[in-house]
Amino acid sequence: MDPLSKIDFAKADGLVTAIAVDDVRGDILMVAHMNEESLRRTLETGEVHYWSRSRRRLWHKGEESGNTQRVRSLWIDCDGDVVLLRVEQRGGAACHTGRRSCFYRRLGGDVWTALGETVFDPREVYGK
Amino acid sequence: MDPLSKIDFAKADGLVTAIAVDDVRGDILMVAHMNEESLRRTLETGEVHYWSRSRRRLWHKGEESGNTQRVRSLWIDCDGDVVLLRVEQRGGAACHTGRRSCFYRRLGGDVWTALGETVFDPREVYGK
C-alpha cells in the first residue's frame, strides 16, 4: 500500500503542516507546508522539499542558503494531517534570519525576547 | 504593547498553528490551532485553550479527559504564524488515542509502525 495514503492532504487544500525537528537535539527547527508532490520528492531524494505558499512552487529547503535538510525519519500524527520530519540540518541553521531555529522568541511578561543561537549572517548568505 | 500584535492571525483566516511541546522532555505532544481569543484565554488562565476547527468552538484541552496542559513558556516563529507552547502535560498523555504524543507512527520502508507509549485506555476515559 502507498504509505502516503495515510496522510490527509484533502483537509487543507492539498497541504499538510510539516515540522522539522533536529534529529540529534530533538528541538523544533521550523514549520512549513508540504503537498503530496513535495513529500514524495522528499522521500525519493532524502532531502526535504516543502511547498512554498507565498511563491506557489516546490521549495527544496536550502536551495539558496545551502542549509539543506537530510531526512532521518518521518512521523505522522493521529489524524494524519501533520507530518514530523527528524532531520540532519546542514550548516546548523534552519531559519532565514541565520538562527538555528525559527522559534527564537519567547514571551516574558509582555515582551518577546530573542534567545536563539545565531549561526550565520543572512546578509552574507542571501546577499541582501 | 500588546504582545499578541506580533502574531499573524490574518494569514490563515484568524488561526495560527499551535504546537505543544513537553517542557521536561522537549518532544512534540500535539499540533492544533488557536485563534486570538484562545491564545488570550491560554495566557490569562495558564491552561492551554485551542480553537477546534471541527467543532468550531473554544476547546479547553483536557476538558473531557482531564489531561489539561499547563503553560510553561510561549514562543513564536520568525514570521509569527506558528506558536510553540512548552507545557506540563497533566496525566502524561496528550493524544485522544491514549498515547503520550500524537506523533506515534513512524515510516519504515512502506509501512507505518506505531511506537509511542500508551498511557491510558481511551474507552475508559471517553466512555466510547
Chain A contact probe: residue of B44, B52, B99, B107 with most A CBs at under 10 A: B107
Ranking A3-7, A97-101, B119-123, B124-128 by mean pLDDT, the lowest is B124-128
The answer to the question of residue B127 being in a domain is no
**Cβ <8 Å between A3 and B110:** yes
Find the CATH number of the domain harbouring A20: 3.10.20.810
Host domain of residue A42: 3-122
What mean pLDDT, rounded, does chain A reach? 94
Label residue A5 by pLDDT band (50, 70, 90).
very high
Q: What is the pLDDT of residue A128?
A: 52
The answer to the question of residue A128 being in a domain is no
Which of A28, A77, A96 is nearest residue B84 as measured by Cβ atoms?
A28
pLDDT (tens digit per residue) in A27-71: 999 999 999 999 999 999 999 999 999 999 999 999 998 999 999
| Residue % of chain B over a pLDDT of 70 | 99
Q: Is the predicted pLDDT of residue B66 greater than 60, yes or no?
A: yes
The answer to the question of residue A127 being in a domain is no
pLDDT (tens digit per residue) in A12-24: 899 999 999 999 9
Buried b (16+ CB within 10 A) or exposed e, B64-100: ebebbbebeebbbbbebbbbbbbbebbbebbbbbbbb
Label residue B128 by pLDDT band (50, 70, 90).
low
The answer to the question of residue A112 being in a domain is yes
Chain A residues within 8 A of B84 when measuring between CB atoms: 28, 103
Q: Is the predicted pLDDT of residue B113 greater than 70, yes or no?
A: yes
Q: What is the pLDDT of residue B120?
A: 86
Chain B residues within 8 A of A27 when measuring between CB atoms: 26
Q: Which amino acid is at A85?
A: L
| Model confidence, pTM | 0.95
Chain A residues within 8 A of B112 when measuring between CB atoms: 3, 6, 76
**Cβ <8 Å between A78 and B84:** no
Three-class HEC string of B83-112: EEEEEEEHHHCCCCCCECCCCCEEEECCEE
The answer to the question of residue B126 being in a domain is no
- If one counts the domains in chain A, the total is 1
The answer to the question of residue B128 being in a domain is no
**Shortest Cα distance, chain A CAs vs residue B113, angstroms:** 9
Q: Which helix (H) or strand (E) holds A45?
A: helix A36-45
Question: Residue B18, exposed/middle/buried by CB under 10 A (0-12, 13-18, 19+)?
Answer: buried
What mean pLDDT, rounded, does chain B reach? 94
Q: Is the predicted pLDDT of residue A116 greater than 90, yes or no?
A: no
CA dist B82 and B76 (Å) reads 6
